[in-house]
Amino acid sequence: MRRVGLNPLALAPGPAFVATLHGCWRLGAVAVPVDPRLAGPERAARGAGAALVVERPLAGEEDAAAVLAATHDLDAVALRMHTSGTSAAAKPVDLTFGNLLWSALGSAAALGLDPAERWLCALPLAHVGGLSIPVRSAIYGTTCVLHERFDAAAVAHAIAREGITLVSLVPTMLARLLDAGLERPAALRCALLGGGPVAPALLERAAAAGIPVAQTYGLTEACSQVTTSAPGEGATAGVALVPTRVRIAPDGEILVAGPTVAPAALAGDGWLHTGDLGARDDRGRLTVTGRLADTIVTGGENVAPAEVEAVLLAHPDVADAAVRGRPDPEWGEAVVATVVARDGRAPSADALRAHCADRLARFKVPKEIEFAPSLPRTESGKLLRRALV
């Protein structure tokens, strides 16, 4: 198929976005989803070298049967996605039609597939975790329910009243849905939870509310899902999707290979070096422990911020928490936490440090705890650690 260049799509999530995406592919163009909320210079950077920038719905119709009959070269680039930019500037990743197909097949094998599926997406379509939902639904021939943005009340209502069977969330979204009173939705068979480490306390809240949670680990370079747990399996991101391969390097880094990985993302050894840290148990289940670049070295000891964050989030007065290293003349780096208190609560720094000291080695306990009204997060809800000061 003839390729006609890059086509940035700066449209709000909805039917027009999906129709334009498939229109790009019918024309042989590479689609570049762009979040319309980005500032002008950011949008211009994402659209550099574009053949056409689509910023409003296009008019016209095409015979549905002709669209369904379209075929694509599996080795051809379908999408240019951008990473979340949680620890560095967002970078472009070219995903092929083969990456999309194998990701959809692996996800279906992991989660099961019901012809009556109704998968709710309230994640940004400019990120692979959101865009994969309408793409997979098109491959499966099932229903995708798109929300333009995440609104806890609207999403909770849809899950409870509109027959939603699957929903993709990040931990902050799940917490807000539980705060909104979501409980025992009859049709929901799985809430797929990704976007970072999950506090055990949040999983306990979900279980008590009758929300079946399956944790997943993924990244843009691997076309979203890499591993997925069974619902209710606990604090694990599960086993690798078919036919993805996962191994742990000697330094603890998670390495990924297989047909879902963007070809240009593979290193010379044939593996995607994710920059994430993790471990696998004797059943092959992955536990993600943090980012290699985020590791705090204090007094010669390594501290994973995610571990300390999980302990802070288990405190009943804490709504959100972020941990980072701060230069320290004595220790090299000092463990520092920023905490968001729950509404109506006012925990003290000393009380939170004591809570951590009961559960963590002494060198992992934050030497300082600061309070803030909120934490910086990406459009998809991931902690923007590099924006912490």
User: What pLDDT is stored for residue 86 in this prediction?
Assistant: 55
User: What pLDDT is stored for residue 317 in this prediction?
Assistant: 95
Q: How far apart are CA 312 and CA 294, in angstroms?
A: 17
Helix (H, G, I), strand (E, B) or coil at 110: helix
Q: Please check whether residue 302 is in contact with residue 296, taking contact to mean a CB–CB distance below 8 angstroms.
A: yes
- Length of the chain, in residues: 389
Q: How far apart are CA 386 and CA 277, in angstroms?
A: 18
Q: How far apart are CA 183 and CA 205, in angstroms?
A: 10
> Which 8-state DSSP code applies to residue 235?
S
Q: How far apart are CA 4 and CA 238, in angstroms?
A: 39
User: What pLDDT is stored for residue 2 in this prediction?
Assistant: 44
- Report the half-sphere exposure of 223 (CA within 13 A, side-chain side): 30
Tokens read off for 133? 């939902």
Q: How far apart are CA 38 and CA 187, in angstroms?
A: 35
User: What pLDDT is stored for residue 60 in this prediction?
Assistant: 63
Within its chain, how far is the Cα of 236 from the centroid? 15
Q: Please check whether residue 200 is in contact with residue 79, taking contact to mean a CB–CB distance below 8 angstroms.
A: no
Q: How far apart are CA 272 and CA 258, in angstroms?
A: 9
- Using a 10 angstrom Cβ sphere, with 0-12 exposed, 13-18 middle and 19 or more buried, the burial of residue 15 is exposed
Q: How far apart are CA 277 and CA 302, in angstroms?
A: 12
pLDDT lower than 50: segments of the chain: 1-2
Helix (H, G, I), strand (E, B) or coil at 231: coil
What would you measure as the largest C-alpha separation in the chain, in angstroms? 70
Q: Please check whether residue 314 is in contact with residue 201, taking contact to mean a CB–CB distance below 8 angstroms.
A: yes
Residue 284 has a CB neighbour count (10 Å cut-off) of 11
Q: Which residue has the tokens 């950011």?
A: 42
User: What pLDDT is stored for residue 4 in this prediction?
Assistant: 52
Q: Which residue has the tokens 């939902």?
A: 133
Q: Please check whether residue 259 is in contact with residue 243, taking contact to mean a CB–CB distance below 8 angstroms.
A: yes
Q: Please check whether residue 100 is in contact with residue 223, taking contact to mean a CB–CB distance below 8 angstroms.
A: yes
208 CB contacts (<8 Å, ≥6 apart)?
Answer: none
Write the DSSP assignment of 260-304 as a string of letters: TS-GGG--TTSSEEEEEEEEE-TT--EEEEEEGGG-EEETTEEE-
User: What pLDDT is stored for residue 1 in this prediction?
Assistant: 40
Q: Which pTM does this prediction carry? A: 0.82
Q: How far apart are CA 124 and CA 96, in angstroms?
A: 20
For 146-189, write each residue's pLDDT tens digit: 999 999 999 999 999 999 999 999 888 999 999 999 999 999 99
Enumerate domains of the chain plus CATH numbers: 72-290 (3.40.50.12780), 295-387 (3.30.300.30)
User: What pLDDT is stored for residue 238 in this prediction?
Assistant: 95
Could you tell me which residues are beta bridge partners of residue 259?
A: none
Tokens read off for 237? 């991101």
Q: One-letter amino acid identity for 76?
A: A
